[in-house]
Amino acid sequence: MIPAAFEYHRPSDIAGALSVLAEHGDEARVLAGGHSLIPMMKLRMADVPHLIDLQDIADLKGITIEGDTITLGAMTTQHELITDDALFTACPIIREAALQIADPQVRYMGTIGGNVANGDPGNDMPGLMQCLDASFTLVGADGTRSVPARDFYESAYMTERDDEEILTQITFSATGAGYAYEKQKRKIGDYATAACAALITKDGDKVTSAAIAMTNLSDVPVLSEAAATALVGTSCDAAAVKAAVAAALEDIDPTEDNRGPVAFKMHVAGIIISRAITRAWSRA
């Protein structure tokens, strides 16, 4: 289908984008990579009289690593995340997850900011950002604020970001933890039936810390503190992994859709979570 008529804005700086948002209020939406918003507009599921394209705003782009602090500009593409060797050295799980998003054509345009900001429960990066304990920087007419990724998601497509705010960057710490991002999907380019990000550190043969987060298994990304607790202090043997998986499954709430019934999704989730923990432990 063809979207309804709209006015196209392409500001060159954040102030210009905020000005358009303030002027048009609920009738304006910002556009990052466009892979979520444009299809909704074409299907007439979203009516956007004023579309604000962020592509020309240089301040929203780039990858910065200072000490242990990593900052990703919101308009950094998935392709750039994959090909940045310094980022891979500092936080290799980013590349592993980004390589499993859609296909190369999408990754050349799709952005990290768009992936985390719109609250789509099928997007891969929100769960990973919770696993990394990232913070999102939001800029609006009232100034700048930082929101932890773990507090950002309220329900499907509902987040802490106000309509007149723009997500400008994502910040988290480099990690030397064992890592894994496991994902099961029906075909290349599809959302996950179930996905899991895992980070594990150890001292000797014991787990000292863990973070386990899941994608598309509830209406928000799910960080399972219970699963992490089940692993800490263990040697991550079969019994510990089984206990962590059971704890994680208690935290999710999948719904039936064209990817399968709830029982199937729970089964797949158990396998994917187990694989993620096992592989992260092997790399710790």
- pLDDT, tens digit (0-9, with 9 covering 90-100), for 131-171: 999 999 999 999 999 999 999 999 999 999 998 999 999 99
* Per-residue model confidence (pLDDT) at position 40: 82
CATH at 240 = 3.30.390.50
* Per-residue model confidence (pLDDT) at position 44: 86
Q: Does a structural domain hold residue 1?
A: no
* Per-residue model confidence (pLDDT) at position 38: 85
CATH at 46 = 3.30.43.10
How far, in Å, CA of 35 to CA of 44, rounded?
Answer: 15
Amino acid at site 7: E
Last residue of a domain, one of 149, 173, 197: 173
Average pLDDT of every residue of the chain: 96
Tell me the average pLDDT across 5-34.
94
Same domain, 262 and 213: yes
**pLDDT tens-digit map of 156-213:** 999 999 989 999 999 999 999 999 999 999 998 899 999 999 999 999 999 999 999 9
Tell me the average pLDDT across 91-117.
96
Same domain, 131 and 198: no
How far, in Å, CA of 107 to CA of 113, rounded?
Answer: 13
Q: Note the pTM of the prediction, 2 decimals.
A: 0.95
Last residue of a domain, one of 139, 173, 207: 173
pLDDT band at 3 (very low <50, low <70, confident <90, very high): confident
Amino acid at site 108: Y
Same domain, 81 and 146: yes
Pick the closest to residue 216 from 150, 123, 90, 279 (CA basis): 123
Same domain, 46 and 14: yes
**pLDDT tens-digit map of 228-239:** 999 999 999 999
* Per-residue model confidence (pLDDT) at position 130: 98
Tell me the average pLDDT across 55-63.
97
pLDDT band at 18 (very low <50, low <70, confident <90, very high): very high
Same domain, 68 and 28: no
The total number of structural domains in the chain stands at 3
Amino acid at site 18: L
Tell me the average pLDDT across 257-264.
96
Is the pLDDT at 42 greater than 90, yes or no?
no
The residue ranking higher by pLDDT, 41 or 148, is 148
Buried b (16+ CB within 10 A) or exposed e, 103-128: eeeebebbbbbbbbbbbbbbbbbbbb
CATH at 70 = 3.30.465.10
Q: Does a structural domain hold residue 2?
A: no
Question: E strands within 39-110?
Answer: 50-53, 63-66, 69-73
* Per-residue model confidence (pLDDT) at position 36: 83
Q: Does a structural domain hold residue 91?
A: yes
Indicate the range of 33-47, 122-136, 162-176 predicted with least confidence: 33-47
Report residue 220 as tokens: 């928000």
Tell me the average pLDDT across 102-107.
94
How far, in Å, CA of 75 to CA of 55, rounded?
Answer: 7
DSSP string, 184-235: E-SSTTPPPSEEEEEEEEEETTEEEEEEEEEESSSSS-EE-HHHHHHHTTS-
Range of the domain at 63: 58-173
Share of the chain above pLDDT 70, in %: 100
Q: How far is CA 2 from the centre of its chain?
A: 29
Q: Residue 3 contacts by C-beta under 8 Å, 6 or more apart in sequence? A: 38, 41, 42, 44, 48
Tell me the average pLDDT across 13-21.
96
DSSP string, 112-144: HHHHHHS--TT-SHHHHHHHTT-EEEEEETTEE
